[in-house]
Chains A and B, each alone.
Chain A
Amino acid sequence: MSESDDSMSEIDAQEQNHSNGVGGGIPDYIMNLDNIPAKLPTHLELHKTRVICNIDAPQHTDPINYSGAYAALGVDNSVRLDNFCQNFKVEVKRFTDEDIEFDMIGIDPAIANAFRRILIAEVPTMAIERVYIANNTSLIQDEVLAHRLGLIPINADPKLFEYPDNAGGENNEKNTIVFKLHVHCVKGQPRITVKSDALKWLPNGSELIADDTKPNAESKPKTFTSFRDNHDSKKKFAKNPPAPKNLDIILAKLGPGQEIELEAHAVKGIGKTHAKWSPVATAWYRMLPEVVLMEDVVDEMAEELVSKCPAKVFDIEDIGEGRRRARVVNARACTLCRECIREKESEDGADKAIVIKKKEWEDLISLRRVKDHFIFTIESTGAISPDVLFTEAVKILEDKCERVITELS
């Protein structure tokens, strides 16, 4: 690829490209070009598919996806759905119970970002929302304790539950999980650390009495929840009872004579309302880095290059006659720290030879990012498996589309 020689012509073609892209209508002959795939010149193809990371700032970061962008050149830039389906690939690199790392090739940043936003904010989970405190003589204030309880990840499948009806509907077994916490540090005992394993699941619903009316002999006293049948009877909870995912989260510390007695109700929600309902520790993506050596880097400069890179992207290979050459072995590990193209200020101004050599690092190495290859990493809090999380996120985007389509028709 001859990219090192045409810097001036690149800039001219780029300006021409931009003015045509904004221009507007598509000439008729474009429509007739469907069967003839016209290709872009190499340097334009490079601008379209790669972000070039220079030492000061990245270039060509915008994905040029307007269908008439290259109309003056006679190239159809529109991506039909079947082209997308053919070119799209997913490769899973790492998959455990808690996180997944996979590559998505052939997708646009707009959609990858939509998936990331939905994963963080719109996939529902269960988290503690209402805390009824009967007794709290510890040093931790009521609201602080309730806040900490809300942040505990709960191991319950949100698909089995409905959203709570906040307009005053009843809290029944279809939308609430009830936990109880009762810890008492007796005088004379050493201090107790209250951890999340102290939360006990109540399958029969709340046990705290809500009303002031005297209970009759026939009817049960009215509590804060009205469970018709208990959760125990449901087989789905038999093997996997709802419980905190991590049992070693410290909630409070009690000294002698202090007691905490409370009931916590967990409901379904999404991360947009409060971050406690976010199912991921975090989810992020980065574009695949591409490191290209424009010219051969040999001997001492090769050794220097290999030692400069902290991510071990380069390696030495022997090319015979005692000469060594640098080679890119692990471009995926590149973190774009730009150490390899940084010019070090030489302390000794008189040593001109070395200064001239270092000035050429920028021309020797081209750091790029591939615009449509995303390395996605999802770290789950543990309640839902990360591959199920991604599938749910895609389903939610589909539901949004459907909602808009029905509104339009």
Chain B
Amino acid sequence: MEHGSYTDLSKSTFSLMDEDHTFANSVRFTLNQDPRVTFCGYSIPHPSENRVNVRVQTTGDPACEVLKDGCQDLMLMCQHVRSTFEKAVNDFKTSKTGDHMDIV
């Protein structure tokens, strides 16, 4: 759900259901890194309700596009984290079995 002006698309608030600090803080971080963003923050209106409001203000690009790009960046970061982690675990496993074989 996007709450914003119909004429000025560069500033709006996105109200996300079924989300909490886990996702909102991560997407706020990726949005802050984007040079097109002048202001970005999130708030949780009430802790009993599973809703997050993300506010995005940009230098001219539509806020919706910038948020989408932020989510895409976060997805790519996660994929990179996953592949790096799996590679590191495999390296650790092979190095450990290599040590065992040397000892024997």
Contact = CB atoms under 8 A, between A and B. Distances in A.
A31 B86 CA distance: 36
B93 A117 contact: no
Interface string A104-145: 100110110110011000100000000000000000000000
A110 B72 contact: no
A108 B78 CA distance: 12
Contact of A111 (B26, B88, B89): B26
A387 B87 CA distance: 11
Interface in B16-64: 16, 19, 21-23, 25-29, 32-35, 37-39, 59, 64
B44 to A, nearest CB: 14
B59 A390 contact: no
Contacts of B71: 401-402, 404-405, 408
Interface in A195-254: none
A102 B93 CA distance: 13
Interface stretch (A89-97, A154-162, A327-335, A356-364): A89-97
Nearest to B25: A110
A407 B27 CA distance: 15
Interface in A371-404: 387, 390-391, 394-395, 397-398, 400-402, 404
17 contacts: A31-B35, A84-B77, A92-B91, A95-B92, A102-B88, A111-B74, A114-B22, A114-B25, A117-B22, A394-B85, A398-B75, A398-B78, A400-B23, A401-B74, A402-B75, A405-B75, A408-B64
A68 interface: yes
A108 B29 contact: yes
B3 interface: no
A397 B76 CA distance: 11
A81 B78 CA distance: 11
Contacts, number: 128
B26 A110 contact: yes
Contact of A397 (B22, B38, B73): B22
B80 A395 contact: no
A208 B22 CA distance: 42
Nearest to A30: B35
Contacts of B21: 113, 117
B78 to A, nearest CB: 5
B35 A88 contact: no
B23 A394 contact: no
**5 nearest interchain CB pairs?**
A110-B29, A92-B92, A90-B88, A401-B75, A110-B25
Nearest to A272: B20
B78 A394 contact: yes
A401 B32 CA distance: 16
B25 A394 contact: no
Given A65-B29, A398-B75, 13 more contacts: A26-B38, A78-B35, A90-B87, A92-B89, A95-B89, A102-B85, A102-B89, A110-B25, A390-B85, A397-B78, A401-B78, A405-B71, A408-B67
B74 A397 contact: yes
A24 interface: yes
B22 A118 contact: yes
B78 A26 contact: no
A169 B25 CA distance: 36
A85 B88 contact: no
Contacts of B32: 65-67
A339 to B, nearest CB: 34
Contacts of A122: 22
Contact of B80 (A84, A405, A407): A84
Contacts of A65: 29, 32-33
Nearest to A117: B22
B35 A68 contact: yes
B38 A24 contact: yes
Contacts of A84: 77, 80
A111 B75 CA distance: 11
Contact of A90 (B33, B67, B75, B84): B84
Nearest to A64: B32
Interface string A36-76: 00000000000000000000000000000111100000001
Given A67-B34, A67-B35, A408-B68, A89 B75 contact: no
A405 B29 CA distance: 17
Nearest to A69: B32
A401 B14 CA distance: 14
